[in-house]
């Protein structure tokens, strides 16, 4: 075939590093900026952008097919969760809505798979850092314009213009809790950029200050919990990384036991904790919602009511729950309760497996390898897992993309597929940043 034929030239273009970087930036910008796109241009425009990125991603994967391993393209836990969500169309009261929610899961999940296979961990961190720098800076600029310069809200973006009063602010992300979540993820990303010297010190200092400032101005109670959880996780990871190799296993088990005990104590004291949270952040709304969800779960405990993702106004039984509570919730305000209601205990176990296996794998990789960049994956997963207790961000859009991206990253270096590759390659890892064996 002629090397200058349009097909060959298109394939070379799709395999290029420039296209990989541009595609990653465009995908992350669309995912994290989805609220702004939808509010300014409409849901159809957002769907068109995502579908276009999926089509382009298919082309990139096809052009790079010789570089990829079909067996390790996607984590097993991710695939099984998607299959169960698709099967739920059988018993769903609205097949079309369930299929639409499932297609959204597949689309954002596929985008994460493409990014994970065309960019390494450091390149991914840099791309996320660049996108979140732009979005956070734009959010701060719009909040200043709305709350100080013009002194008027921007309802079409969901900006209330409260920055002059010290917050809460929403930025381009719709709610203060989403802004707080993004700010914490950005803070972790910017710290990794600083430690790996990926950006100039002045840029790193500006980025860290920007993320911390917006996290504070969001006045999000969940951001405080996220920050503390991520800080504890990073501290524990630092202790493990600095421990002698012969002491590392025992230290890992000690931390695992401490985590289980902490979760058990927190569950035993859940009512006092909820009362304290209610006194500071209005958590009674969540408690009422969760109790109502548990009542409905009793009707279909195994399979749930069918996957919808976000709560549409006509989705059953979400619409009935909202009517009974006199509210207009768009989610269960808890990813685990959302999965339990929509996919039953089977779905919840599969979702927990996806999160848990990814976190354990990424933790072990980060504890064994010297580069600080490997700490990014378990830190972000810790933020996603903890945030899922208070919001359902992890089940759609940027949150789902991050979860799948981290799961793929963890599985690329710590899975049964990696063992097969090591045997096939004579014991040599295919990861360029991995230590020699």
Range 143-167 average pLDDT: 89
Is the pLDDT at 419 greater than 70? The verdict is no
Q: Which residue reads 């004291």 in tokens? A: 269
Q: Are 119 and 24 in contact (CB under 8 A)?
A: yes
Q: State pLDDT tens for residues 181-222.
A: 999 999 999 999 999 998 999 999 999 999 999 999 998 888
Q: State pLDDT tens for residues 5-51.
A: 677 777 788 888 889 999 999 999 999 999 999 999 999 999 999 99
- 415 against 343, higher pLDDT: 343
Dmax over CA atoms of the chain, in Å, equals 73
Predicted confidence at residue 434, as pLDDT, reads 45
Is the pLDDT at 278 greater than 70? The verdict is no
Q: State pLDDT tens for residues 424-434.
A: 444 444 443 44
Q: Are 25 and 131 in contact (CB under 8 A)?
A: yes
Collapse the DSSP code of 175 into the 3-class scheme (helix H, G, I; strand E, B; otherwise coil) and give the result: coil
Predicted confidence at residue 32, as pLDDT, reads 96
Q: What is the rounded CA–CA span in Å between residue 347 and residue 308?
A: 13
Q: State pLDDT tens for residues 100-110.
A: 899 999 999 99
Q: State pLDDT tens for residues 294-330.
A: 999 999 999 999 998 888 877 888 889 989 888 888 8
In whole numbers, what is the pLDDT of the chain averaged over residues? 86
- 354 against 72, higher pLDDT: 354
In terms of phi and psi (left: phi > 0; alpha: psi -120 to 50; beta: otherwise), the region of 169 is: beta
In terms of phi and psi (left: phi > 0; alpha: psi -120 to 50; beta: otherwise), the region of 319 is: alpha
- 120 against 246, higher pLDDT: 120
pLDDT band at 1 (very low <50, low <70, confident <90, very high): low
Structural domain boundaries in the chain: 69-118+224-415, 120-219
- 143 against 95, higher pLDDT: 143
- Between the two ends of the chain, the Cα-to-Cα distance in Å is 41
pTM of the model: 0.90
Half-sphere exposure of 345 (CA within 13 A, CB side): 7
């Amino acid at each position: 075939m002629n090397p200058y034929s349009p097909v060959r030239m298109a394939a070379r273009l799709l395999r290029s590093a420039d296209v990989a970087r541009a595609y990653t930036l465009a995908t992350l910008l669309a995912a994290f900026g989805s609220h702004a796109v939808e509010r300014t241009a409409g849901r159809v425009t957002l769907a068109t952008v995502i579908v276009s990125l999926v089509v382009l991603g298919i082309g990139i994967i096809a052009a790079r097919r010789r570089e990829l391993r079909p067996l390790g393209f996607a984590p097993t836990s991710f695939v099984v969760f998607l299959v169960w969500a698709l099967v739920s169309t059988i018993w769903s009261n609205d097949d079309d809505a369930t299929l639409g929610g499932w297609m959204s899961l597949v689309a954002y999940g596929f985008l994460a798979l493409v990014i994970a296979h065309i960019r390494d961990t450091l390149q991914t961190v840099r791309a996320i850092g660049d996108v979140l720098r732009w979005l956070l800076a734009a959010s701060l600029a719009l909040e200043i314009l709305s709350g100080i310069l013009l002194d008027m809200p921007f309802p079409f973006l969901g900006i209330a213009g409260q920055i002059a009063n010290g917050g809460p602010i929403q930025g381009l992300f719709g709610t203060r809790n989403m802004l707080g979540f993004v700010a914490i993820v950005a803070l972790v990303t910017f710290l990794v950029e600083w430690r790996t010297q990926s950006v100039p010190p002045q840029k790193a200092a500006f980025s860290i200050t920007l993320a911390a400032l917006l996290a504070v101005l969001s006045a999000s109670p969940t951001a405080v919990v996220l920050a503390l959880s991520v800080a504890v996780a990073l501290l524990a990871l630092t202790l493990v990384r600095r421990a002698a190799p012969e002491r590392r296993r025992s230290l890992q088990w000690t931390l695992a036991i401490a985590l289980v005990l902490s979760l058990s104590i927190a569950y035993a004291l859940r009512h006092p904790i909820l009362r304290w949270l209610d006194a500071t952040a209005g958590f009674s709304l969540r408690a009422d919602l969760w109790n109502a969800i548990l009542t409905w779960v009793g009707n279909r405990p195994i399979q749930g009511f069918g996957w919808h993702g976000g709560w549409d106004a006509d989705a059953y039984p979400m619409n009935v729950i909202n009517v009974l509570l006199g509210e207009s919730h768009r989610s269960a305000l808890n990813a685990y309760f959302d999965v339990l209601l929509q996919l039953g205990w089977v779905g919840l176990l599969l979702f927990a497996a996806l999160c848990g296996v990814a976190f354990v794998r990424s933790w072990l990789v980060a504890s064994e390898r010297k580069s600080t960049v490997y700490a990014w994956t378990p830190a972000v997963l810790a933020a996603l897992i903890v945030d899922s207790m208070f919001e359902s961000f992890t089940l759609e859009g940027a949150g789902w993309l991050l979860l799948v991206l981290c799961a793929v990253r963890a599985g690329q270096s710590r899975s049964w597929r990696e063992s097969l590759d090591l045997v096939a390659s004579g014991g040599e890892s295919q990861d360029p940043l991995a230590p020699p064996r």
